[in-house]
Structure 1
Amino acid sequence: MSGNAQTRRAAIGGVALSIASARSLAALAAPRVVGTGLETGAIRASGVETARTEYHGRPALRATALENAPGLDRLVMLDTPAFGDGVIEAWISGAPSATASATARGFVGLAFRVHDEGKLEAIYLRPTNGRAEDQLRRNHAVQYISHPAYPWERLRAEAPSQYETYVDLEPGRWTHVRIVVVGAHARLYVDGAEQPTLIVSDLKHGADAKGAVALWIGPGTLAHFSGVRVTSSGS
């Protein structure tokens, strides 16, 4: 595309989604409202039941993991242009659902560079681990994954502690997350912190991968999303 910035904002239920494309993140035009994805069908849910709601003072999209959903991922696909480099931020909240197993952690996060064939990168939270009495569980509060080849089990086995870390979390509480993606690098910032909570220096699908952006939840999760914003950079 040209060097002129293009921006658009879509309201997904109660979730405000703005998409900006420019050659530099500094050159962004004013957003414009283009409609709601739930009504137009532009937003696709896979393995997830969704509803618009109000949650802890914010308009939100509620996402509940469906039991026995096929595949590794439960996604709500956002109506964005192909995303390579840029910034994704949102208010997210996750907690185990009423029917969740004892191993559920309220898994909730964001996926990027998503392809229909099941390829994606994602960073997610395990909210019940944030204040666990077990220090090892606390160390597993944040997780990077790259499906289909690099689920969390493989990453933990082959590179312990490299792709997960601690951050203070509570199930059901709003947490602000900001993911900055440049080439093969991604950084997660939590609750406005100046320093990243997690640094990933080798995104498994490579520096040039592009794809959709999605809301991501794990099995046994009741999640809420609000204020989703995607800023895409590059030509």
Structure 2
Amino acid sequence: MKIFPFLTVVLGLIVATAHSQNKSIDLGEKYKSNSFITVNRELSQLPDDSRAVGLNAIPGDGLSYLKDISFKKGTVSIELLGENNPGRSFVGFAFNIQNDSTYEVVYFRPFNFVAKEKIRKAHMVQYIYHPEYTWKKLRETRTGEFENEIVNPPDPDQWFKAKIEIGKNTVKVYVEDSENAVLEIERLTEIKSDKIGIWTGFNSSGSFRNLHLETR
């Protein structure tokens, strides 16, 4: 009886499981336990949804990151809520947060989900690396590489789900149940931090819930 191949398979599964962990995070509970560090915003728990948190709208970008969660590579799933308010709704997920102003973000412009103009359609989802690579710099110097259209965009005034696959050198973004990535980019920096959080852009509020992490 040959048991060595069987043992090899079992050990391989154990190792794979040890390196891949799933974690569902209740952002409302994290808010109540004071687990966020918030920059240039006020963070609150939504009164009509205890699982969700929101950032208010003031000038400048806003960031709120988790003190007790570590994540570098893997798959992120999160629900976001913006609004159909042109130029005032930018909602996203921040990662590789090195300090209050240095981080990567994948974010959405919900007001462009209903755009009719071709140029605005191409600006639905965006990757940035602040402070060096802002959306403006990327649009001017590397047009079309770091933002894209969503072929079947969600309702801009409703919750929508984003799945973000973060690798060592690449990021892929999926929306709702799309099989194909709506954005696929080469990262503009190396992994330097395991801090993650939620983000809103200039003069934008936003709400977030149902964060799920699969690390690898």
Q: CA RMSD in A?
A: 2.4
- Alpha-carbon separation, structure 2, partners of 1:141 and 1:113: 22
Q: CA deviation at 1:217?
A: 0.7
Equivalent position of 2:39 in the other structure: 46
Q: Structure 2 vs 1, CA of residues 139 and 230 (structure 1 numbering), >3 Å: closer, same or farther?
A: same
Q: CA deviation at 1:80?
A: 4.6
Q: Structure 2 vs 1, CA of residues 8 and 79 (structure 1 numbering), >3 Å: closer, same or farther?
A: farther
How do 1:11-160 and structure 2 match up within 5 A? 11-13=26-28, 36-53=29-46, 59-65=51-57, 67-69=58-60, 73-95=61-83, 103-104=87-88, 106-116=89-99, 118-160=101-143
Equivalent position of 1:180 in the other structure: 165
- Alpha-carbon separation, structure 1, partners of 2:159 and 2:23: 25
- Give the TM-score, by structure 2 length: 0.82
Q: CA deviation at 1:210?
A: 2.9
Q: What letter matches 1:60 in structure 2?
A: A
The structure that is helix-richer by fraction is 2
- Give the TM-score, by structure 1 length: 0.75
- Alpha-carbon separation, structure 2, partners of 1:142 and 1:76: 20
- Alpha-carbon separation, structure 1, partners of 2:31 and 2:59: 24
Q: Structure 2 vs 1, CA of residues 194 and 79 (structure 1 numbering), >3 Å: closer, same or farther?
A: farther
- Alpha-carbon separation, structure 2, partners of 1:59 and 1:117: 25
Equivalent position of 1:196 in the other structure: 181
Q: Structure 2 vs 1, CA of residues 227 and 161 (structure 1 numbering), >3 Å: closer, same or farther?
A: same
Q: CA deviation at 1:9?
A: 4.8
Count of residue correspondences: 198
Deviating more after overlay: 46-55 vs 147-156 = 46-55
Residue ranges of structure 2 left out of the alignment (5+ in a row): 1-13
Residue ranges of structure 1 left out of the alignment (5+ in a row): 14-35
Q: Structure 2 vs 1, CA of residues 59 and 39 (structure 1 numbering), >3 Å: closer, same or farther?
A: closer
- Alpha-carbon separation, structure 2, partners of 1:136 and 1:217: 22
- Alpha-carbon separation, structure 1, partners of 2:25 and 2:52: 13
How do 1:209-224 and structure 2 match up within 5 A? 209-224=192-207
Q: Structure 2 vs 1, CA of residues 134 and 9 (structure 1 numbering), >3 Å: closer, same or farther?
A: closer
Deviating more after overlay: 113-122 vs 123-132 = 113-122
Q: What letter matches 1:92 in structure 2?
A: L
Q: CA deviation at 1:42?
A: 1.8
- Alpha-carbon separation, structure 2, partners of 1:226 and 1:81: 15
Q: Is the 8 A contact 1:80 1:213 kept in 2?
A: no
Q: CA deviation at 1:82?
A: 3.4
The structure that is strand-richer by fraction is 1
Equivalent position of 2:189 in the other structure: 205
- Alpha-carbon separation, structure 2, partners of 1:161 and 1:10: 33
Identical pairs, percent? 23
